[in-house]
Amino acid sequence: MKRIAIILRFFAISPEFLVSVTGLALFNFWPNWFLWLTERIGQQSELLKYFGLLPAALVVYDSQIVKNILFPDSDKRAILQGWGRYWDLKCGGVVGLVYGIIFAIAGFSALLFDWKKPAAHYAALLITSVLGALTVSASLYFTHIKIEELFRQQPQEKSKGA
């Protein structure tokens, strides 16, 4: 039961969730703005609608980053895998990948729209999927950087005390 609560916490308390809710709220409260944007994209639909492929490309990048987070190159002695909160770290990486896949599916669906006939949800879905995927990638990237910093600082601390 505790693990389910941790998973739900990772889903609900995350920047990705904030992007999703913000996109939905903006679509509900200001659909005219998204309709205006969809009309502008529709004029150049062949070029701009392919931004929906960006989230799929970022999922590939994210999967590599999650692997590097869970099995860092600097951790030769598997210290991280023996850490008591490793499951939490792993859960956070998997939740990030799930969010990335959700945003990629949303991005793919934006490719299927007829951008010549504008509707507000076209632009809302495209923008939310791209911003959400970028948020996932940024979160995972900064996590990876922090873990690498921690493992690279570890040998220096031992040598300072000697």
Residues 19-48: tens digit of each pLDDT: 999 988 988 888 888 778 777 776 666 666
CA nearest neighbour of 23 among 96, 106, 101 = 106
Phi, psi of 87, rounded to the nearest 5 degrees: -60, -40
Predicted local distance difference test score (pLDDT) of residue 155:
59
Phi, psi of 119, rounded to the nearest 5 degrees: -145, 145
Helix then strand then coil, % of the chain, to nearest 5: 85, 0, 15
Query: Does the pLDDT at position 162 exceed 50?
Result: no
Q: What's the number of domains the chain is made of?
A: 1
Predicted local distance difference test score (pLDDT) of residue 120:
75
CA nearest neighbour of 137 among 39, 55, 70, 72 = 55
Contact (CB, 8 A) for 59 and 99: no
- Confidence grade of residue 138 (pLDDT, cut at 50, 70, 90): very high
In eight-state DSSP terms, residue 53 is G
Tens of pLDDT, residues 79-100: 888 888 888 999 999 999 999 9
Predicted local distance difference test score (pLDDT) of residue 3:
82
Query: Does the pLDDT at position 16 exceed 70?
Result: yes
> Domain range holding 120?
2-161
**What pTM, to 2 d.p., does this model score?**
0.85
